[in-house]
Amino acid sequence: MTVAVIGGGAMGEAVIAGLVRSGREPADVIVVEQRPERAAELAQRYGVATASEVGAVRAAEAVLLVVKPADLPALAEQLGGQLRDGAVVVSLAAGIPTTAIEQRLPAGTPVVRVMPNTPALIGEGMAALSRGAAVTDDQVAAAMDLLSACGQVVEVPEKQQDAVTALSGSGPAYLFYVADALIEAGVVLGLPRATARQLAVQTLYGAAAMLRETDEHPTLLREQVTSPAGTTAAALRVLDAEAVRAAFVSALAAAAERSAELAAAMAR
Which of 12, 97, 110, 119: binder of ligand NAP (CB under 6 A)?
Answer: 12
Minimum separation from the CB atom of position 196 to ligand NAP (A): 26
- Least distance to ligand NAP, CB of residue 73, Å: 11
Window contacting ligand NAP (CB under 6 A); options: 1-9, 40-48, 56-64, 174-182: 1-9
Residues 239-258 that bind ligand NAP (CB under 6 A): none
Q: Count interface residues toward ligand NAP (CB under 6 A).
A: 25
Cβ proximity to ligand NAP, 94 vs 196, nearer residue: 94
The binder of ligand NAP chosen from 169, 183, 200, 263 (CB under 6 A): 169
Site for ligand NAP, residues 48 to 87, rule: CB under 6 A = 66-69, 71, 75
State which of residues 94, 142, 163, 164 lies at the interface with ligand NAP (CB under 6 A). Answer: 94
Choices 8-16, 21-29, 81-89, 194-202; region in contact with ligand NAP by CB under 6 A: 8-16
Residue type, 214: T
Judged by the rule CB under 6 A, the positions of this chain that interact with ligand NAP are 6-12, 32-35, 38, 66-69, 71, 75, 92-94, 116-118, 169
